[in-house]
Structure 1
Amino acid sequence: MKRVLIVEDQADIRELIRMTLEIEDLDIHEAENGDVGLDLANRLQPDLVLLDIMMPGHLDGFAVCDRIKGDPRLRATRVVFLSAKGQDADKRQGKQSGGDGYLTKPFSPKQLLEVVNRQLS
C-alpha cells in the first residue's frame, strides 16, 4: 500500500483531500504545518507528499520540499505542491526546490486523483 502525506494548514482542505484520496487504496497521513510535515516525512518515509506552500511555522512548503529531496532516505519520495500561488515564478520555484508536480488551488477531485495516480505509478 502506498503511503501519502498531506501537509496543509487549513483543516477543511486537508479533509477534502483525504476524503478524495480515500477511494484509492492508500495509507493517508496528515500534518498541519511544515514543521510537523517534515517530522512525519522523516518517520513515515511516504511515497508521496502533497504539500501546501504558504503555511504557518518555520518552514514553508518550498523549504520542506528542499529538505525532503536533500535527505538520502527520502530522495525517492515524490512531492506535489498544492497551492493558490499559480504564477509561473511560483511553479519554477517549486521545481527548483525539487517538486515533482504542481497543482493550483482550487482543483477538482478528478485533477487531484489524476496527479496522485500519475506520481504513484
Structure 2
Amino acid sequence: MKKILVVDDQLTVRRLVEMTLETRGMRVLQAESGEAGIALARAGRPDLILMDIMMPGGMDGFEAVRILRSQPETSACPIIMLTAKDQKTERLRAFEAGVSDYLAKPFKLSDLLQKVDNLLQPVAAKG
C-alpha cells in the first residue's frame, strides 16, 4: 500500500485528497504545517508528498521542500506542490526548491490522480 503525505493548512483540501487517494487503495498521512510535514515525512517515510505553499507558522512550502530535499531519509521522495499560487514565479521557485511536479488549486481530481500515478510508477515501467 502506497503512503501519501498531504501537507496543507486547509482541512477540506486534506480530506478531499484523502478520500480521493483512498479510493485507489493508498494510505494518507496529514499535516497542517511545514514543520509538522517534515516531522511526519521523517517518521512516516511516505512514497509521495503533496505540499501547499502558503501555511501558518514560520515555514512555507518552499522552505519545507528545501529541507526535505536536504535530508537523506526524504531527499528522493517525489513532491507535488499543490497550491493556489499559480503564477510563473511561484512555479519556478517550486521547481528550484526541488518539487517533482506542480498542480494549481482549484484542481481536477483526475489531474491529481494522474500526477500521483505518474510519480509512483517504477522507473523501469515508464516510457
Work out whether the TM-score is over 0.5. Answer: yes
Give the CA RMSD over aligned residues. Answer: 0.8
Q: Do 2:21 and 2:27's aligned partners in 1 also have CA atoms closer than 8 Å?
A: no
- What residue number does 1:46 align with? 46
**Within the alignment, does 1:6 sit opposite 2:33 as a pair?**
no
- What residue number does 1:36 align with? 36
- How do 1:30-109 residues align onto structure 2 when only pairs under 5 Å count? 30-109=30-109
Once the two structures are superposed, residues 60-101 of structure 1 have per-residue CA deviations (whole angstroms, 9 ceiling, x without a partner) of 101110011111111110100001110111000000000000
- What residue number does 1:17 align with? 17
- Give unpaired runs (5+ residues) of structure 1: none
- What residue number does 2:116 align with? 116
Q: TM-score w.r.t. structure 2 length?
A: 0.92
- Give unpaired runs (5+ residues) of structure 2: 122-127
Q: Percent identity?
A: 39
How far apart are residue 12 of structure 1 and its match?
0.8
SS of residue in 1 equivalent to 2:73:
coil
Moved over 3 A (4+): none
Q: TM-score w.r.t. structure 1 length?
A: 0.97
Q: Do 1:52 and 1:61's aligned partners in 2 also have CA atoms closer than 8 Å?
A: yes
SS of residue in 1 equivalent to 2:6:
strand
Once the two structures are superposed, residues 15-67 of structure 1 have per-residue CA deviations (whole angstroms, 9 ceiling, x without a partner) of 11111111112121000111111110111111100000000012110111001
Q: Highest CA radius of gyration, 1 or 2?
A: 2
